[in-house]
Structure 1
Amino acid sequence: MAVTEVRPKPASEDALSVALTQLRAAGRELGLADDLIEYLSRPQRVLSVNFPVKMDDGRLRMFAGYRVQHNFARGPAKGGIRFHPSVTMDEVIALAMWMTWKCAVVDIPYGGAKGGVVVDTKALSLSELERLTRRFATEISLLIGPEKDIPAPDMYTNPQIMAWIMDTYSMHQGYSIPAVVTGKPLEIGGSLGRSAATGRGAVDVLDEYARTKGIRLQGAAAVVQGFGNVGGAAARFLHDLGLKVIGVGDITGALYHEQGLDIPAMLEHRDRYGSIEGYEGGEPISNEELLALPCDVLVPAALENQLTGANADDVKAKIILEGANGPTTPEADEIFRDKGIVVLPDILANAGGVTVSYFEWVQGLERFLWDEEEVNRRLRQKMTRALHEVMEVAEREDVTYRQAAYYLALGRVADAVRIRGIYP
């Protein structure tokens, strides 16, 4: 019986180093004790698994996967599961840490978690993907649960994969437990408004920021890197607000149109063909050129570490709205601050997804479904309130919005740790 193994590919940049640098800098500036910073810099639990999956041709392939729970001080762990060839344990630890701060910034009662499997889903059949998902769900079932750790979709996972995880967990328990995951299909307890929540929440933040600062968005130029669930939704809502989305990129390439791309047509093309490849409504450009386009708003909504010390000087945006987790390195942040570029940071701007996941979890526990208007209203309320709290801290402390968001998040988590105390 032949057995092959899929191992992680090394990341081009170390997301964990970025996450730790951000945490330690903010912790020192906030005056947190060194031992508390050290405590918050380490995940509370890390599960690493290696598991077999039977392929359609009868072979076994070994896959590596991880589930990390960073912190429980404010509530159950919450975070997505990504299926991607570049997944590493350090990346998952960094993402779990960012989830802790994200939940604290928007003030929802969760700690951070994250999961991942090292796999190229495009190389799997649907039945192979289901078997991989169910086996991974079984491997991490000792950690997850509706009161312990609630997974959600992330890169290359979707509502169907969440349905398989929910069903697998429920079969082990002997009854249906919809609140064990969020981002599920509506038919089995998902929430209206969840699929577009991250992109919608980011644009809600931008819209409120512009309104507060007297910035006119109608006719402004926007660039979106990443055209998946987050980037595609953000592009649609930017288009609906009246911005010209002049540049869009995904894993297959990037397109530019000075007068604005036809976003509804591009989304239709993406949904039909899986990417923007082959769309003929724009001029092909490189990802490097995409990030350097002169624009009013740049939305990095792809992988981590896209804006670095190597390319930050080339960025000509006035506002960076972070749709991805950790798209900007500390070196790039320094350059943007010196250039006067406003960064609306990831732990604020892309918290819409986990916010509506929280709403879905509450609905699952209550067995009561909210209508989409209610979900979107509550989402905007949460996002805009968090923005104003971050802006207030930034003005009072004379710091960037990222520093202010970290001050707010770390303060809330640190307070929870102090109040709960250290067991035993």
Structure 2
Amino acid sequence: MLWQNDKTRILCTVTHNSDLMGYVALDSSIRDRSTGGLRMHPEISAEEIRILAHNMTLKFGFLGLPQGGAKAGVLGDPEAPRAERRQQLVAFARAIRPLLQKRFFFPHADMGTDNEDIRYMLHQVGLRVMPRELRCTQSGYYTAVSVYVSICQATRHIGRTLAGLKVALEGFGKVGIPLASLLAANGALIVAVSTSRGALYNPQGFKLDNLLKCVAETGSNFVHHFPDGDRIDRAALLELPVDILCPCANYHSIKAHNAPHIQASIICAGANVPLTPDAEHILLEKNVLCLPDFVTNCGGVLGGTMEFASVQKDKIVKFMELHLGARISAILETADKQGRTPHDIALSLAREKFAQIHYYAQHQKPSDKLFQFCLNLYRRGIVPGSLVAPYALPYFERSLA
């Protein structure tokens, strides 16, 4: 492993016999620990993982959750057979075992992986996973909910409703599929979708039930089998005449070269950091409402943490609609009043809250230490969820406030 240390930030280049395997970036820590997704993709760069790790810090800060931000990426094909993918993950875990063993980095599912993959990987390198860890199976859905809540607040902010609005979804997978269902159920028209295999466009809107049936039968290749739409280039989806664009696929898919051609009025991302800074500047000059991605897609972290705390799914969704929705509305109103962008407002908020979290973690009171002790017992399965759930919702409400 090759380490690059910039004050508290660490970037680790992982190799085996001089072959590049991937990267780990530790952007921040709380009590010497950090966490974030471990993704698999054939094209991953050190800069991408570093930026995504910082994005996790912002996400934790925005949500008020005491976690350090990190990210990891393994070079590989996410659509390869599971055994092949897991072999690569285990080899990667062996290379970074010192980080994993001390929990300087604790991985979660991300693009191209799921929590079962992560559990298998950790077990194979002899590391213990607590009974209540890595149990969330709804991360993509919760991310979709936070994107949906963000879209509702954005449309309300500009005096529109979802009914009849045209939506393009870049990435029709773990996040894009449930997001399409939420939007369509409230009157929006899903007119374009894409996967790694291509994209489809129907300006009249897809019949979602038929589309989902084709996805179930053919996977990401549905773009070559579904008859009710025109096959287009994946990049062309971003530039279609739509009201709302939801990037739910790759990092930096919207750049300076294609941003001038985007026609959407609102951009709400399910993906992490889909816009380059130059692209965001261009879109702001075009009066496109861009909500910060560490806000719009925070539902995966928030929902997963609430599920860990034994909160029921329906209560998690209602919590997001009420409390996350109110927070996003406040960001939009403050941005207008101060003549700043929503990204600037949310960024200042996230940084300030994370600094507070970090300070209090370093200056723990006896009650804080007792809380950590009880949390560890719960994580080990000793404390029942029925005792934790009643206190969880007020805790998350205070964290987000």
Query: One fold, TM greater than 0.5?
Result: yes
1:67 Cα offset (Å): 2.1
Q: Would the aligned equivalents of 2:64 and 2:354 in 1 still touch at CA under 8 Å?
A: no
**Is it true that 1:104 corresponds to 2:61 in the alignment?**
yes
SS of residue matched to 2:119: helix
Quick one: which of 237, 244, 266 aligns to 2:211? 266
Matched residue, 2:316: 375
**Is it true that 1:194 corresponds to 2:148 in the alignment?**
no
* CA-to-aligned-CA distance 1:257-285 (integer Å, 9 cap, x gap): 12101233323322332213322110112
**Is it true that 1:162 corresponds to 2:118 in the alignment?**
yes
Distance 1:107 1:283, change over 3 A: same
**Is it true that 1:129 corresponds to 2:85 in the alignment?**
yes
Which ranges of structure 1 fall in alignment gaps of 5 or more residues? 1-38, 53-60, 183-189, 364-368
1:109 Cα offset (Å): 2.0
SS of residue matched to 1:152: strand
Matched residue, 2:13: 48
How large is the RMSD of aligned CA atoms in angstroms? 2.8
* CA-to-aligned-CA distance 1:140-199 (integer Å, 9 cap, x gap): 343237975432211111233133135346x434xx51455x3xxxxxxx2364331111
SS of residue matched to 1:293: coil
Quick one: which of 98, 120, 143 aligns to 1:142? 98
Q: Distance in 2 between matches of 1:74 and 1:216?
A: 44
1:293 Cα offset (Å): 1.3
Q: 1:85 is aligned with what amino acid?
A: P
Quick one: which of 345, 358, 362 aligns to 2:305? 358
1:121 Cα offset (Å): 3.7
Q: Distance in 1 between matches of 2:318 and 2:106?
A: 23
Q: Distance in 1 between matches of 2:255 and 2:331?
A: 24
Q: Distance in 2 between matches of 1:74 and 1:241?
A: 43
Matched residue, 1:120: 77
Q: 2:235 is aligned with what amino acid?
A: E
Bigger drift between 285-294 and 197-206 goes to 285-294
Q: Distance in 2 between matches of 1:224 and 1:271?
A: 18
SS of residue matched to 1:142: helix
Matched residue, 1:256: 201
Q: Would the aligned equivalents of 1:133 and 1:164 in 2 still touch at CA under 8 Å?
A: no
Q: Distance in 1 between matches of 2:158 and 2:146?
A: 18
Quick one: which of 177, 180, 187 aligns to 2:130? 177
Matched residue, 2:351: 410
Distance 1:393 1:151, change over 3 A: farther
Distance 1:193 1:157, change over 3 A: closer
Q: Would the aligned equivalents of 1:295 and 1:316 in 2 still touch at CA under 8 Å?
A: yes
SS of residue matched to 2:169: strand
Q: Distance in 2 between matches of 1:89 and 1:81?
A: 13
Distance 1:263 1:395, change over 3 A: same
Quick one: which of 267, 279, 287 aligns to 1:332? 279
Distance 1:160 1:281, change over 3 A: farther
Matched residue, 1:341: 288
Distance 1:391 1:370, change over 3 A: same
Distance 1:371 1:421, change over 3 A: closer
Q: Distance in 2 between matches of 1:353 and 1:195?
A: 6
1:92 Cα offset (Å): 0.9
**Is it true that 1:216 corresponds to 2:178 in the alignment?**
no
Distance 1:370 1:392, change over 3 A: same
Distance 1:338 1:252, change over 3 A: same
Q: Would the aligned equivalents of 1:79 and 1:96 in 2 still touch at CA under 8 Å?
A: yes
Q: 2:86 is aligned with what amino acid?
A: E
Identity of aligned residues (%): 27
Output the TM-score relative to the length of structure 1: 0.76
Q: Distance in 2 between matches of 1:322 and 1:294?
A: 17
* Equivalences for residues 212-251 of structure 1 within 5 A: 212-251=157-196
Q: Would the aligned equivalents of 2:115 and 2:137 in 1 still touch at CA under 8 Å?
A: no
Q: 1:371 is aligned with what amino acid?
A: Q
Q: Distance in 1 between matches of 2:291 and 2:284?
A: 12
SS of residue matched to 1:232: helix
* CA-to-aligned-CA distance 1:88-143 (integer Å, 9 cap, x gap): 22211111011111221222222211011111244x43323222223323433432
Distance 1:126 1:302, change over 3 A: closer
Output the TM-score relative to the length of structure 2: 0.80
**Is it true that 1:66 corresponds to 2:32 in the alignment?**
no
Q: Would the aligned equivalents of 1:75 and 1:109 in 2 still touch at CA under 8 Å?
A: no
Q: Distance in 2 between matches of 1:75 and 1:205?
A: 32
Q: Distance in 2 between matches of 1:108 and 1:125?
A: 35
Would you say how many aligned residue pairs link Structure 1 and Structure 2?
A: 357
Matched residue, 2:392: none
Q: 2:331 is aligned with what amino acid?
A: V
